[in-house]
Amino acid sequence: MKVAVLDSKGKETGRKVDLSDDVFGIEPNEHAIYLDVKQYLAHQRQGTHKAKERAEIKGSTRKIKKQKGTGTARAGSIKSPIFRGGGRIFGPRPKDYTQKLNKNVKRLARKSALSLKSKEKELLVVEDFEMKAPKTQDFIKVLKSLGLEDKKSLVVLGSQNDNVYLSSRNLKKSEVVSNTELNTYKILNAKSLVLMESAVEKIQSNLSK
């Protein structure tokens, strides 16, 4: 599959890049995508939620009133969950939300996500460009040239480019990642996927192992 390479101004360079059918042209596996996205979202949870139960509440252990003759229900502790300031019944406890997923399934999920973007014509290949300094306005001009200023986009770098990354950091609808940080959730969460020309070969190399 051949895709035209655009420059940073959105014009065709006259060159084309060959996208591997084994990475960008497979039949998407929806279940693999589901498992990978579920694992990613689960790993975003810290699992540090905690509420004190009655055994952990500070307070006196004396019986707060006599057992009989008060006309109300008996009560043995001020730390009882039915009283204000008492412990919580079955409160949340710290939990590890990590999930195991075989690397072959993760690889299949990423291939499926890339194939979906390619199939839906939501994938662009742009020749590598540099920025002299981190400047958001310059990055916005590039997005406008590509017709992505109002779309949620994901730009994938072939190598570390601090100026491009810093220029995009405070934009809500655009994110810049390196090819090693690419994952299924980020691919599908973006309306348009922009691959730097140098990133294509590295992505294909990583997913062809």
Angle at 180 between CA 175 and CA 182, to 5 degrees: 45
pLDDT (tens digit per residue) in 101-110: 999 999 999 9
Q: Which neighbouring-strand residues pair with 126?
A: 6, 196
Q: What is the pLDDT of residue 95?
A: 95
User: pTM value?
Assistant: 0.83
| Per-residue model confidence as pLDDT tens digits over 164-190 | 999 999 999 999 999 999 999 999 999
Nearest 5°: CA angle at 104, between 16 and 31? 90
In angstroms, the CA 152 to CA 32 distance is 24
Going along the chain from its start, the domains and CATH numbers come out as: 2-45+99-207 (3.40.1370.10), 47-96 (no CATH)
Q: Tell me the pLDDT tens digit for each residue of 26-36.
A: 999 999 999 99
